[in-house]
Structure 1
Amino acid sequence: MINHPQNTPIQANLPQWGLIFVEGADAASFLQNQLSNSVLGLNRTFAPQTAQTHNSVRLVGYCNPKGRLLASAWIGQFPEDVNAPDRFALFLSKDIAASIAKRLSMFVLRSKVKVIDASSAWSISGYCCIESDIADLKIEVGQIGLRLPNVLANNYTYSRVLIARNNDGSESNLSDDSIQWDHLEVMSAIPRIVLATQEQFVPQMINFESVAGVDFKKGCYPGQEIVARSQYRGVIKRRLQLAHTSIDSLGSVSIAPGTELFHENDPAQPAGMVVLSSPSPTEPNRIDLQVECKLDALEGGEIHLGSVQGPVLKIDPLPYPFIEI
């Protein structure tokens, strides 16, 4: 792990991220019928511009028919040139990119749409800096830049940009130390589905509707009835929380996504699971986590990681309120 000054811009390789392109004349209407959020009207973005704000960037979920998330992604519109048809780029976890591209392709049928898993042909990196420095970032021609929401951490407001670059044979001199990026992703409290957490969560269980990942006014998509029913009938009994523990307390306990949580009063029944985690770049003995957890488990007693004998998790405040529909 490399220690970077907190206010120094950093761009690091993100090998855990992948990329899917969905392109063609019918790409927008096709994705509109598949994803939890509307993609209609997204602005087209061309280098050296970076896609940013809700007009150009959306958080989307892809659910199974039971409303469980198969994937989450950040999406933008990046045609190859001004005369080219729509080309949507979905930034998502690399370990699920191939299966998601294959599943989306199953529903193309006669639509004028092509779904491409570009995770091997394109490399993803993450650029983060304090907010005042983000104007200095320039996206090169042929690259794709998509800005994520700012994150407040360690008394700084950080800006973040995902950058996709075609592997054209030229060498990359970027750092492989992504701890700053990974930690900011955790502290954003915006979840990312990975292979270990596929089909574990209805969107509201990980606050997806409160981070603008669900449009309740758009048309149907797989699992839409379940997602809407969970919202309007008030049956949400699990939520994403931020938490932390010490590295010294871990021993052999995993902090990987999918690791289960247990309440001290119910050792036989998991109370939730890890969504994402990262060591802190500023506090050497601290691990920060996104965890999905039963709400009643938060009312009293201790929550442990891995087992009731595992390290105790301390719950931290979320950086946003829950929305009310």
Structure 2
Amino acid sequence: MSEFVDFLKRDTSASFTDDRVAHFGNPEREIETALANVSKCPLLSLGVVSFTGTDARSFMNGQFTTDCTGIMPRHSQFSAWCDPKGRVLYIFTLYIDGDRLYAILPKAQIDSFMRRLNLYILRADVELGNLSDALIVIGLSGTSSPDTTGLDEPWDTAQRPGATRIIRQGAGPPRFMIVGPDGSARERWAALEIPAVGEIAWKTLEIFGGVPRLDERTSGRFLPQQLNLDALNALSFSKGCYPGQEIIARLKYRGAVKKRLLIATVASPTEPVSGTPIQINGSGRTVGHVLNAQRLDAGRSALSAVVEVDATVADLHIEKSKGPALRRIDLPYAVD
């Protein structure tokens, strides 16, 4: 067990679910705190994969949706990896520290991510490493902490004491990820003298930020534009080839994006699961599916969903046309 996890279990009120800190005693209040004020969150569900070798950057550039030549010490990237049909398999944050490149993504996806990538390395000088036990990710919301000084734009990145990196996340409520060694994570945590929240609150921030996340039910199901990755600067149309590029480019230059990600709340006693159908009231026709959802309180959940563009102004309901109605929320970024 990591030193930081041992500390959280021994010396805090952290409530664990599936090896992550779900909350610190009151998830509903923590959601309110995270949305309104500065807060910190142990992101134990996230792990880190390293890319080393002389061909690491060019290999990544030939696989991922962003121009990886643009990853710099002061600028990270939101990126994705697609299958040959252009469907998104994984979504992650890329950053550099010294001569190593890194990807931050859910620990549950790392084994399959590395296994699939290794099939494409062939003779390239690239080595992948799972550093999830060595590096800890801490989330920080709000901008009142001195650690966030100078990080004004999405994916701005800075070095901080103790071999740590702090990376500003994308649109929506200000969010940052602090990545550093497990051995000094407790010290970093204690230095942040702000309220602690669990991953329930952090997931809510991401949903309201219009950030897509994939699981086993949604991986390989959507094109990048359907997840708004183009609007989140996680998609390059000017670099060389990568898996699915022709299909993705054709959607931009020859066609129209017929589905887009939206965010909403829904009055429901249970949290919708990913993949739950969305229908137009009274029609019985499925026009989309839930991507992510998080229960806000006893009778309400926040969710993101991929829905047909022509149906986004309709009266939408989950599960069936007479099910709970969606109350749409404006995205915090522009979508073409």
**Does TM-score exceed 0.5, indicating one fold?**
yes
**How far has the Cα of 1:314 moved from its partner?**
1.4
Residue in structure 1 matching 2:231, options 210, 217, 228: 210
Name the amino acid aligned to 2:175: R
1:162 to 168, 177, 195: 177
Q: Residue 193 of structure 1: which of 214, 220, 223 is its match?
A: 214
Distance 1:257 1:92 in 2: 18
Cα distance in structure 1, aligned partners of 2:141 and 2:216: 25
How far residue 176 of structure 1 moved from its aligned partner, in angstroms, is: 5.6
Identify which of 105, 109, 132 aligns with 2:122: 109
Tell me the equivalent position of 1:296: 310
The correspondence for 1:43, drawn from 61, 72, 97, is 72
Describe the superposition over 1:197-239 as per-residue Cα deviations: whole angstroms up to 9, x where unpaired. 1001001111111111111011000000010011112232111
Which residue is 2:277 aligned to?
260
The answer on whether the counterparts of 2:66 and 2:234 sit within 8 Å (CA) in structure 1 is: yes
Question: Does residue 1:60 correspond to 2:89, yes or no?
Answer: no
The 8 Å contact of residues 14 and 176 in structure 1, kept in 2 or not, is answered as: no
Q: Which amino acid aligns with 2:61?
A: Q
Question: Are 1:149 and 2:170 counterparts?
Answer: yes
The answer to whether the Cα contact below 8 Å between 2:294 and 2:301 also exists between their aligned partners in 1 is yes
- Percent identity over the alignment? 27
1:103 positional shift: 1.0
C-alpha displacement of 1:19: 1.8
Query: Secondary structure of 1:235's partner?
Result: coil
Secondary structure of the residue aligned to 1:210 is: coil
What do residues 241-289 of structure 1 show as CA deviations (whole Å, max 9, x unaligned)? 111112xxx234x42332222223442x532112222344xx8754221
* 1:98-145 superposed Cα distances (whole Å, 9 cap, x missing partner): 111111111111111111232344332211123675329983423332
**Distance between the aligned counterparts of 2:77 and 2:179, measured in 1?**
17
List per-residue Cα deviations over 1:16-40 (Å, max 9, x = no partner). 3222111222111010100111010
Does residue 307 (structure 1) correspond to residue 325 (structure 2)? The answer is no
Q: Any idea what SS the aligned residue of 1:71 has? A: strand
Distance 2:330 2:37 in 1: 26
Residue 239 of structure 2 aligns to which amino acid in structure 1? K
Q: How does 1:90-129 map to 2 (within 5 A)?
A: 90-129=103-142
Judged with a 3 Å threshold, the aligned counterparts in structure 2 of structure 1 residues 75 and 223 are, in CA distance, closer, same or farther, namely: same
Q: Distance in 2 between matches of 1:125 and 1:263?
A: 40
SS in 2 for 1:184: helix
**Residues 127 and 162, structure 1, Cα contact 8 Å, conserved in 2:** yes
Contact 1:131–1:159 (CA under 8 A) maintained in structure 2? no
Distance of aligned partners of 1:165 and 1:201 in 2 relative to their CA distance in 1, 3 Å threshold: same
Point out where structure 1 has 5 or more consecutive residues left out of the alignment: 45-50, 80-85, 152-157
Measured after TM superposition, the shift of residue 13 of structure 1 is 1.2
Q: By how many angstroms is 1:170 displaced?
A: 7.4
| Whole-Å separation in 2 of the counterparts to 1:136 and 1:221 | 33
Which residues of 2 match residues 1-16 of structure 1 at below 5 A? 1-2=26-27, 3=29, 5=33, 8-16=37-45
Instruction: Give distance in 1, aligned partners of 2:46 and 2:123.
Output: 30
Higher mean Cα deviation, 287-296 or 179-188? 179-188
- The match for 2:246 is 225
Count of aligned positions: 293
| CA deviation vs aligned residue, 1:57-79 (integer Å, no higher than 9, x gap) | 11111000000000111111112
Q: Is the 8 A contact 2:40 2:197 kept in 1?
A: no
Contact 1:92 1:192 in 2 (8 A): no
* Alpha-carbon spacing, 1:130–1:169, altered in 2? closer, same or farther (3 Å): closer
CA RMSD of aligned residues (A): 2.7
| TM-score using structure 1 length | 0.80
Q: Which amino acid aligns with 1:64?
A: D
Distance in structure 2 (CA, Å) of the matches to 1:161 and 1:131: 12
Matched residue type, 1:298:
T
C-alpha separation in 2, matches of 1:106 and 1:149: 31
User: Which of 223, 232, 242 in structure 1 is aligned with 2:263?
Assistant: 242
Shift of 1:15: 2.7
**Using the alignment, how far apart are the partners of 1:259 and 1:31 within structure 2?**
33
For residues 8 and 189 of structure 1, the distance between their equivalents in structure 2, rounded to whole angstroms, comes to 19
